[in-house]
Amino acid sequence: MTGALRIEGLEKSFVLHTQGGVRLPVLAGLDLEVEPGECVALHGPSGVGKSTVLRCVHGNYRADAGRILVRHREGVMNMVTAHPREVLAVRRETIGHVSQFLRVIPRVSAADVVAETLRDRGTDRESADDAARSILHRLNIPPELQQLAPATFSGGEQQRVNLARVLVAHYPVLLLDEPTASLDRENREVVIDLIREAAGRGAAILGIFHDAAVRDAVATRVVAMDTGREAA
Amino acid sequence: MACDDRPLLSARGLTRYYGRILGCRDVNFDIWPGEVLGIVGESGSGKTTVLKCISARLEPSAGTVTYDTRTEGPVDIHRISEPARRLLMRTDWGFVHQDPRDGLRMAVSAGANIGERLMAVGARHYGQIRETATNWLGKVEMDTGRMDDLPCTFSGGMQQRLQIARNLVTAPRIVFMDEPTGGLDVSVQARLLDLLRGLVSDLGLAAVVVTHDLAVTRLLSHRLLVMRHGTVVETGLTDQVLDDPQHPYTQLLVSSVLHP
Amino acid sequence: MTRVSTAARDGGYTFAYLDEQTKRMVRRAILKAVAIPGYQVPFASREMPLPFGWGTGGIQVTASIIGRDDTLKVIDQGADDTVNAVSIRAFFARTAGVPTTTRTQDATIIQTRHRIPETPLRAGQILVYQVPIPEPLRWLEPREAETRRMHALQEYGVMHVRLYEDIARYGHIATSYDYPVRVNGRYLMRPSPIPKFDNPKMDRSPALQLFGAGREKRIYAVPPHTGVRSLDFDDHPFEVQKWDQACALCGSTASFLDEIVTDNQGGRMFVCSDTDHCETRVRAGHVESAAGGRDPGGP
Ligand SMILES: Nc1ncnc2c1ncn2[C@@H]1O[C@H](COP(=O)(O)OP(=O)(O)OP(=O)(O)O)[C@@H](O)[C@H]1O
Ligand SMILES: Nc1ncnc2c1ncn2[C@@H]1O[C@H](COP(=O)(O)OP(=O)(O)O)[C@@H](O)[C@H]1O
Ligand SMILES: [Mg+2]
Ligand SMILES: [Mg+2]
Ligand SMILES: [Zn+2]
């Protein structure tokens, strides 16, 4: 494995027991490798399984078969078989995941949500707070808003907080699920810059970008996905 | 945190019958230092039974519970001498009851409730005991002016806070909580959860939290056990179990709440 | 007052009222109690011709240890002449025919309620306490099985919770009677409702101290020369009661004083609670000049 992330024969289907045991096949043997500094865009119609791939890599979904290898600490971790504690360690140190929707803790301020990422990685409170303030500022979240809990934020504001909480740390692997979907033009440019900076630092980025302009601006490679089976 | 290579507490084949009624059967899990384990499941599924067995409040019918003590390494908590076990219970472990009346001494002041565990391990300096108790009252965000009031003059949320302080004062390594936010209003529940979340991560505590509220477990726990009819039907990372539940029962549980 | 008075035994009773079998059973309990200082030994408490609360536990202990050569003193709150003390003394005079006395140094057995005599006890004397509630942990733990386990495991930290509450509420340890002690560094013990003033007298006393609780059916003991330590905090050490004045009758400044009302105008004075001690001092010439007379009936 030369990349920072390597997916081999990833299979995933959902069995809906509450709905008569319907089986939804989603991924049927995906192979993919992402090198440090690369930004690979998953592309395909809605429902094809793009987010599912990212979630499997993050350990949020359980893969049925295949391997998801992540360069972690001095070795390689297979996220498909990793123990939950190892998954948590990978999430803390190696993989940053910007999900489609922000899931925050109620009553925790935006600034704290973002700083917590760094504090969990051992940064002292003051430096974490400084870094949080500065990236939120860059993403145009004004100081007044930073002190509020993001639950009442607009879709675009929540998305920027979600980005900030991941990009504030320099993860070696980044998973970005439509990071600019609800952003205006100005903020989209900021995010493009941030993604390029991350790639420039050597992060391996796997993302989903519906906006062609954004995709063109950040992706170094596009992987097309088809329903039921995917092509590399 | 995750670098400790030995679990703090392990349950193996844990089984408990109440006469012919099954409490829990063949439950297996490990808890590492600093880790929060959630146990969810419908009423009567055996959550409390498991919690009591792993905290030495109930003897299992079969199986072992191993705890990694500070001084002697791993011991079977149901095999060690009673004094050793009771010492663990009032120093290394905390137990937060759903009903604060089960976990507090209602006839003595808040300060004495917090100070009790200190005195139980030999603290004999009134001023220091009081100072520590005052600190803890502050840490659980209570008005330190209520120090000398009886717990019965407190609201349900305050009583739970007091119970938490009373347990944490001896710096336990693991805390067992049975529906800690059970009988509380939603807003009080939320503040208590914030507090617990903060304390658990600041103190690097391991915790086992029994709840039937999936939102509570999403906020607090790293890992989840889903129980039904006395057995564990699914286990895994909390968000994985809640977002991609595998077992039919877990799917039912998750689909029946609005925002798991 | 009588020094030693002797009465004829009423032959209608067995010696000291209790039958021999009962006495043997009580003696066995006493022996066990002496062997394990401070440990509460259960015994089959008998019906006595006095109501509970009148010291039936102490009476059964006394009845089981008293012999024809003994001289008995009975005190109640320090006085030999209250109804309770007089009745018990009369009871033994009648059933055992033993001499009775009010003088501490003349007695071989002293049955007491609420005081330890001021006159230091000597080897060979036995002090029998009447105990209403023997279990020191009862206030916080109603379950007997649990208190027994707490004793077995020496889980006594909670006892300090009570002292803590005192200080939190009153600024000092306000408990002044039945003040908890640790016997021989082991068992936690209730000394019965004696004032804490008397606690230090229990420590390393040359006399044997026996405690009988009739209603609760418990006997415990402090053998001679056994350490008895009152619980306290490092920064709130154990202290006994102190008075600003001396005894109005004998001038003693070292004894436990009772406040008594002397007239209808609310006049008060402080006098020794131990009437024998006071009278002995007065006889020996310690008379307080300013003091008024005292009704020999006492408080
Ligand atoms: N937790 C789940 N339980 C059941 N089915 C799921 C779950 N998550 C995703 N699916 C199903 O898997 C398929 C792929 O979903 P996924 O979210 O990966 O699509 P996507 O490619 O990201 O689509 P979009 O572009 O709309 O975001 C869909 O049919 C979806 O309904
Ligand atoms: N003390 C007990 N005696 C008899 N049955 C009990 C006792 N405690 C629990 N049970 C039974 O054991 C099962 C599991 O109970 P419990 O562990 O309390 O469940 P939960 O905490 O998940 O609601 C239930 O059937 C319950 O009725
Ligand atoms: Mg998607
Ligand atoms: Mg329960
Ligand atoms: Zn006097």
How far is ligand 2, taken at its centre, from the CA of residue B183, in Å? 19
What pLDDT score was predicted for residue C285?
86
Crossing angle of helices B126-139 and B110-120, in 10° steps, is 120
Q: How far apart are CA B31 and CA B206, in angstroms?
A: 7
- Ligand 2 pocket mutation pick from B16, B17, B20, B21 by most atoms within 8 angstroms of CB: B21
Cross-chain Cβ contact C140/B122 below 8 Å: no
Backbone angles phi, psi at C267, to 5 degrees: -65, 140
* pLDDT per position as a tens digit, C125-180: 999 999 999 999 998 888 999 999 999 999 999 899 999 999 999 999 999 999 99
Average pLDDT over every residue of A182-208: 96
Q: Is C9 part of the contact surface with chain B (CB cutoff 8 Å)?
A: no
How many angstroms from the chain centroid is the CA of residue B16? 19
The DSSP code for B190 is H
The DSSP code for C195 is B
Backbone angles phi, psi at C109, to 5 degrees: -125, 130
Mean residue pLDDT across chain B? 92
Which residue puts its alpha carbon closest to atom 2 of ligand 2? B18
For an interface test with C, the pick among B86, B106, B119 (most C C-beta atoms closer than 10 Å) comes out as B119
Distance in Å, alpha carbon of B2 to nearest chain A alpha carbon: 7
Helices of type H across chain A? 50-58, 84-93, 110-120, 125-138, 143-146, 155-167, 185-200, 212-218
Short-list C172, C176, C187, CA closest to C228: C187
Q: Is B222 part of the contact surface with chain A (CB cutoff 8 Å)?
A: yes
* pLDDT band (50, 70, 90) for residue C2: low
pLDDT at A18 over 60: yes
Greatest CA span in chain A, whole angstroms?
Answer: 53
Q: How far apart are CA C144 and CA C153, in angstroms?
A: 14
Name all chains with 3 or more CB-CB pairs below 8 Å to chain B: A, C
What pLDDT score was predicted for residue B2?
38
Contact B37, B210 (CB under 8 A): no
What pLDDT score was predicted for residue C139?
84
pLDDT at C294 over 70: no
Contact C189, C232 (CB under 8 A): no
Sign of CA dihedral B69, B74, B78, B84: negative
The DSSP code for A16 is E
Cross-chain Cβ contact C153/B82 below 8 Å: yes
Mean residue pLDDT across chain C? 91
Between B9 and B193, residue with greater pLDDT: B9
Greatest CA span in chain C, whole angstroms?
Answer: 59
Between A65 and B203, residue with greater pLDDT: A65
The DSSP code for C177 is B
What pLDDT score was predicted for residue A230?
42
Q: How far apart are CA B37 and CA B206, in angstroms?
A: 8
What pLDDT score was predicted for residue A1?
78
What pLDDT score was predicted for residue C52?
66
* pLDDT per position as a tens digit, B96-112: 998 999 999 999 999 99
Amino acid at A95: I
Q: With 0-12 CB in 10 A as exposed, 13-18 as middle and 19+ as buried, what is B26?
A: middle
For an interface test with B, the pick among A56, A85, A90, A97 (most B C-beta atoms closer than 10 Å) comes out as A85
Contact B149, B181 (CB under 8 A): no
Cross-chain Cβ contact C158/B120 below 8 Å: yes
Nearest ligand to residue B46 Cα: 2
**Ligand 2 contact, B74 CB (< 6 A):** no
* pLDDT band (50, 70, 90) for residue A66: very high
* pLDDT band (50, 70, 90) for residue C297: very low
Q: How far apart are CA B97 and CA B99, in angstroms?
A: 5
Between C141 and B251, residue with greater pLDDT: B251
Short-list C110, C97, C102, CA closest to C55: C110
Q: How far apart are CA B252 and CA B223, in angstroms?
A: 19
Choice among A27-31, C49-53, C97-101, C255-259 with the minimum mean pLDDT: C49-53
The percentage of residues in chain C with a pLDDT greater than 90, rounded to a whole number, is 77
What would the two tokens of residue B126 be? Answer: 């009134």
Q: Which residues contact A84 (CB under 8 A, 6 or more apart)?
A: A59, B222, B223, B236, B237, B240
What pLDDT score was predicted for residue C262?
83
* pLDDT band (50, 70, 90) for residue B199: confident
Average pLDDT over every residue of B166-185: 91
What pLDDT score was predicted for residue B80?
96
Average pLDDT over every residue of B16-33: 97
What would the two tokens of residue C108 be? Answer: 């071989």
Contact C269, C263 (CB under 8 A): no
Residues from chain B contacting residue A88 (CB–CB below 8 Å): 2, 222, 237
Cross-chain Cβ contact B240/A88 below 8 Å: no
How far is ligand 5, taken at its centre, from the CA of residue C113, in Å? 19
pLDDT at A145 over 70: yes
What pLDDT score was predicted for residue A228?
53
Closest partner residue to C164 (CB to CB) among B107, B117, B119 is B119
Contact A168, A90 (CB under 8 A): no
The DSSP code for C46 is P
- Ligand 2 pocket mutation pick from B14, B15, B18 by most atoms within 8 angstroms of CB: B18
Q: Is C157 part of the contact surface with chain B (CB cutoff 8 Å)?
A: yes
Provide the 3-class DSSP secondary structure of residue C251. Answer: coil
pLDDT at B85 over 70: yes
Q: How far apart are CA A206 and CA A215, in angstroms?
A: 11
Closest partner residue to B190 (CB to CB) among A14, A55, A106 is A106
CA dihedral (C72, C75, C78, C83) in degrees, to 10, reads -140
Q: What angle do CA B2, B6, B12 make, to 5 degrees?
A: 115
pTM: 0.87
pLDDT at C292 over 50: no
Cross-chain Cβ contact A88/B222 below 8 Å: yes
Closest partner residue to C235 (CB to CB) among B109, B111, B126 is B126
- Ligand 1 pocket mutation pick from A26, A43, A176, A226 by most atoms within 8 angstroms of CB: A26
Cross-chain Cβ contact C161/B119 below 8 Å: yes
Q: Is C234 part of the contact surface with chain B (CB cutoff 8 Å)?
A: yes
Crossing angle of helices A185-200 and A155-167, in 10° steps, is 10
Q: Are strands A22-34 and A173-177 parallel, antiparallel or unpaired?
A: unpaired
Contact A223, A43 (CB under 8 A): yes
Short-list C216, C214, C210, CA closest to C51: C214
How many angstroms from the chain centroid is the CA of residue A51? 9
**Ligand 1 contact, A46 CB (< 6 A):** yes
The percentage of residues in chain B with a pLDDT greater than 90, rounded to a whole number, is 80
pLDDT at A231 over 60: no
For an interface test with A, the pick among B237, B243, B252 (most A C-beta atoms closer than 10 Å) comes out as B237
Q: What angle do CA A22, A24, A25 make, to 5 degrees?
A: 140
pLDDT at A232 over 60: no
Average pLDDT over every residue of C17-42: 96
What pLDDT score was predicted for residue C3?
62
How far is ligand 2, taken at its centre, from the CA of residue B23, in Å? 5
pLDDT at A229 over 50: no
Backbone angles phi, psi at B204, to 5 degrees: 60, 35
The 10 Å CB-count burial string (b at 16+, else e) for A12-31 is bebeebeeeeeeeebbbebe
Residues from chain C contacting residue B122 (CB–CB below 8 Å): 157
Backbone angles phi, psi at C274, to 5 degrees: -85, 100
Q: How far apart are CA B214 and CA B169, in angstroms?
A: 28
The DSSP code for C121 is P
Mean residue pLDDT across chain A? 93
Q: Is B186 part of the contact surface with chain A (CB cutoff 8 Å)?
A: no
Which helix (DSSP H) or strand (DSSP E) does residue B225 occupy?
strand B223-228
Average pLDDT over every residue of A113-126: 94
Nearest ligand to residue C273 Cα: 5
Interface B:C, Cβ pairs < 8 A: 57
The DSSP code for C117 is -
How many angstroms from the chain centroid is the CA of residue A171? 10
* pLDDT per position as a tens digit, B55-75: 999 999 999 999 999 999 999
* pLDDT per position as a tens digit, C215-227: 999 999 999 999 9
